[in-house]
């Protein structure tokens, strides 16, 4: 059930205490609510917006995420709403030449779960419906203004309302209100900006554009991504470029004139796609430096509040879902016969694995983005290296998609071990 918080409603009863309060109802907050409620805990999500929802277009979700969604019985819904692409193809944005590819059919065999592309509102909607079915207390119009704690639990304070719980999770995104408890850092501007656009697939059909793959065109200071969505009915595109105005210190940066200039010298497939971008909104791209402390007493961070990445590895929402899964694993492992969770032990388990993994994702995403955007001799060198790559070499994604050192040992049975040799093609089934 979703309830709307009415500030200053004197008739409203004091909200009942729950096991876990979650500040923020994005993909990360809802994933935590679903995972923890499935494990038998009571959860309340406090969302500042008047309704739960997501703005934007497509999301890529890799096997390390679809494997979890399958365990939560949500995979069939996800697969129906999304698309299972054949490959991820990397091309040079200037001449259109293919540089390398990842065969996602082989990858599914290797990692035991598929790669899916999905509209972000469909992933968010699937989690929301699951939360509603499970009886999560979902509260909208509730902007949390402060959080506090004592030895017994934590509180979220919002206009005319105080919510209490054994644990409070800050799932409130890049500009988190909860994160300053852990760090005085600020979001870091990359000076890059993203334009998005999702159109009916017939709009682009008939051109030399792949409709079955995720295709990423990498070019000097820019890249362009295309993939199908919604069972192949829609076509999603993301255009990302470095803004000269941002580099020069202007406030008004990332405007459509900069979009056109950034892609003027690109290949035909990119130029065909460009007119279909939404030009009335754009997303300036920020991340934050990684932090290693996410837990303080009965308050913890999750999702972008803990680890907002640049999106080059397509792991931001995926990491948020992994957080939910791993935290729930530790909460379950540290419950006594009466159902009470030893949160000190559970949160120590969570913090022993997640920050190190997410630090690596954030750092690698920055470097991966730099490699995509090189120019001149460095571009030629990058293209040679990528062309020479054995397409069956999964070493650069095994740590992301496969069983990683960051998974607690007791979860290992969930992940099939992968015999790996970079120069050996996967066996056909």
Ligand X SMILES: Cc1cc2nc3c(=O)[nH]c(=O)nc-3n(C[C@H](O)[C@H](O)[C@H](O)COP(=O)(O)OP(=O)(O)OC[C@H]3O[C@@H](n4cnc5c(N)ncnc54)[C@H](O)[C@@H]3O)c2cc1C
**Residues forming the site for ligand X (CB under 6 A):** 23-29, 46-49, 59-60, 143-144, 171-174, 177, 194, 238, 283, 303-304, 311, 314-318, 320
Residue among 95, 121, 184, 131 at smallest CA distance from 20: 131
DSSP tag of 341: B
Nearer to ligand X, 44 or 379 (CB): 44
Residue among 200, 216, 254 at smallest CA distance from 369: 216
Nearer to ligand X, 324 or 383 (CB): 324
DSSP assignment of 61-106: E-HHHHHHHHHTT-HHHHHHHSB--SEEEEEETTT--EEEEEEHHH
Backbone angles phi, psi at 172, to 5 degrees: -105, 25
Distance CA 35, CA 27 (A): 12
Least CB distance to ligand X at residue 156 (A): 8
Q: Who's near 345: CB < 8 A, 6+ residues apart?
A: 330, 334
DSSP tag of 187: P
Residue 418 near residue 111, CB atoms below 8 Å: yes
Distance CA 146, CA 162 (A): 10
Residue 380 near residue 386, CB atoms below 8 Å: no
Least CB distance to ligand X at residue 321 (A): 8
Least CB distance to ligand X at residue 114 (A): 15
The residues pairing with 47 across neighbouring beta strands, listed in sequence order, are none
Q: Quick check: is 227 catalytic?
A: yes
* Strands, sheet with 283-287, edge to edge from the N-terminal-most edge strand: 98-103, 87-92, 214-219, 222-229, 234-242, 188-200, 283-287
Backbone angles phi, psi at 365, to 5 degrees: -60, -40
Would you mind telling me the total number of residues written for the chain in this entry?
429
Nearer to ligand X, 33 or 94 (CB): 33
Residue among 268, 257, 241 at smallest CA distance from 373: 241
Helices in 113-207 by DSSP H: which ranges? 120-134
User: Of these residues, 227, 312, 325, 401, which one is catalytic?
Assistant: 227
Distance CA 52, CA 47 (A): 7
Q: Which residues are designated catalytic?
A: 227
């Amino acid at each position: 059930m979703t309830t709307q918080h009415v500030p200053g409603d004197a008739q409203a009863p004091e909200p009942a205490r729950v096991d876990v309060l979650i500040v923020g109802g994005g993909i990360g907050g809802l994933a935590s609510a679903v995972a923890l409620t499935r494990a038998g805990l009571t959860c309340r999500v406090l969302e500042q917006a008047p309704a739960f929802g997501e703005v934007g277009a497509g999301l890529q979700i890799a096997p390390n995420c679809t494997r979890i969604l399958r365990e939560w019985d949500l995979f069939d819904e996800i697969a129906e709403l999304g698309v299972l692409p054949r490959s991820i193809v990397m091309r040079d944005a200037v001449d259109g030449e293919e540089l390398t590819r990842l065969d996602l059919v082989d990858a599914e065999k290797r990692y035991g779960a598929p790669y899916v592309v999905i509209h972000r509102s469909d992933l968010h909607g699937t989690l929301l419906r699951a939360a509603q079915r499970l009886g999560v207390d979902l509260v909208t119009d509730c902007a949390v203004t402060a959080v506090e704690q004592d030895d017994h639990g934590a509180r979220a304070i919002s206009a005319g309302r105080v919510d209490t719980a054994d644990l409070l999770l800050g799932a409130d995104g890049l500009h988190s209100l909860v994160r300053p408890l852990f760090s005085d850092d600020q979001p870091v501007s990359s000076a890059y900006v993203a334009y998005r656009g999702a159109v009916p697939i017939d709009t682009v059909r008939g051109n030399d554009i792949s409709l079955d793959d995720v295709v990423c065109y990498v070019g000097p200071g820019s890249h362009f991504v295309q993939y199908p969505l919604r069972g192949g009915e829609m076509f999603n595109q993301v255009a990302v470029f470095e803004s000269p105005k941002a580099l020069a210190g202007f406030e008004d940066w990332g405007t459509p004139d900069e979009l056109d200039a950034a892609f003027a010298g690109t290949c035909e497939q990119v130029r065909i796609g460009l007119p279909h971008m939404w030009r009335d909104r754009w997303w300036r791209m920020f991340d934050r430096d990684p932090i290693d402390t996410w837990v303080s007493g009965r308050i913890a961070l999750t999702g972008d509040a803990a680890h907002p990445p640049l999106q080059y590895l397509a792991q931001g929402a995926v990491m948020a879902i992994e957080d939910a899964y791993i935290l729930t694993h530790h909460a379950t492992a540290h419950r006594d016969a009466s159902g009470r969770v030893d949160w000190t032990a559970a949160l120590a388990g969570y913090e022993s694995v997640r920050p190190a993994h997410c630090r690596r994702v954030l750092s690698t995403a920055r470097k991966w983005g730099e490699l995509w955007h090189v120019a001149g001799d460095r571009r030629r060198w990058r293209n040679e290296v990528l062309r020479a790559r054995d397409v069956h070499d999964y070493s650069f994604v095994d740590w992301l998609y496969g069983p990683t050192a960051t998974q607690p040992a007791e979860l290992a049975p969930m992940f099939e071990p992968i015999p790996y040799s970079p120069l050996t093609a996967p066996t056909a089934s």
